């Protein structure tokens, strides 16, 4: 398994950040990597919630919440549908913690690449870095959305205000 970790402080209360991250089905609102997302089982958040994410490159991934602790502002997510991505397994943990100036968002993950030794080399040389960049953009997108109330689009561009 290969792992990645990104942690970033943002100037919003942990409760606001967690409310956004816990809205599992609607990650498209703040993730500049996701063009569209939707619930696969009618559950918006919490243990067992499942979503489909359509990325801007038209690849799709399916994910489900396997552990959920709202009091600790922490959840684990299993990616189980990879579209064209060269992986066989991925697990992610999301944590929101208070800081003196707001919140620290930490997202850690581990994945198993396809293609044996060639996949291992690809994961080590390219994929870990790509995941870290994508996760950093996700956290920055959450910050931008919470500050502006706007949808975050491809590349971090500010989109339309989110309808109440």
Distance CA 138, CA 159 (A): 15
Whether the model clears a pTM of 0.85, i.e. scores above it, the answer is: yes
Q: How many angstroms separate the CA atoms of 15 and 57, rounded?
A: 32
- Report the distance separating Cα 107 and Cα 43, nearest Å: 22
Phi-psi region of 102 (alpha: psi -120 to 50; beta: other; left: phi over 0): left
Please enumerate in sequence order all residues whose Cβ is within 8 A of that of 157, keeping only pairs 6 or more positions apart, or say none. 32
Q: What is the pLDDT of residue 116?
A: 86
For the chain, the average pLDDT equals 95
pLDDT score of 117: 84
Residue 78 burial class via C-beta count within 10 angstroms: exposed 0-12, middle 13-18, buried 19 and up: middle
Give the helix/strand (H/E) hosting 57. none
Q: Domain 2-161 - what CATH class?
A: alpha beta
The fraction of the chain above a pLDDT of 70, given in percent, is 99
121-158 pLDDT tens trace: 888 889 999 999 999 999 999 999 999 999 999 999 99
The per-residue pLDDT for 146 is 97
What pLDDT was estimated at residue 64?
98
**For the chain, what's the residue count?**
164
Mean pLDDT of 36-54: 97
Q: Is the pLDDT of residue 95 over 80?
A: yes
Q: What 8-state DSSP symbol labels residue 115?
A: S
Q: How crowded is residue 123: how many other Cβ atoms within 10 Å of its Cβ?
A: 24
Residue extents of the structural domains in the chain:
2-161
């Amino acid at each position: 398994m290969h792992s990645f970790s990104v942690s970033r402080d943002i100037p919003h209360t942990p409760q606001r950040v967690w409310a956004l991250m816990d809205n599992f089905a609607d990650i498209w609102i703040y993730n500049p990597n996701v063009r569209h997302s939707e619930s696969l089982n009618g559950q918006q958040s919490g243990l067992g919630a499942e979503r489909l994410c359509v990325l801007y490159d038209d690849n799709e991934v399916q994910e489900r919440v396997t552990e959920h602790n709202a009091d600790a502002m922490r959840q684990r997510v299993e990616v189980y549908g990879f579209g064209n991505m060269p992986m066989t397994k991925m697990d992610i943990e999301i944590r929101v913690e208070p800081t003196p100036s707001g919140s620290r968002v930490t997202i850690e993950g581990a994945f198993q690449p396809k293609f044996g030794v060639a996949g291992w080399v690809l994961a080590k040389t390219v994929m870990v870095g790509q995941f870290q960049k994508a996760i950093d953009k996700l956290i920055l997108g959450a910050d931008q959305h919470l500050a502006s109330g706007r949808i975050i689009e491809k590349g971090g561009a500010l989109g339309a205000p989110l309808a109440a």
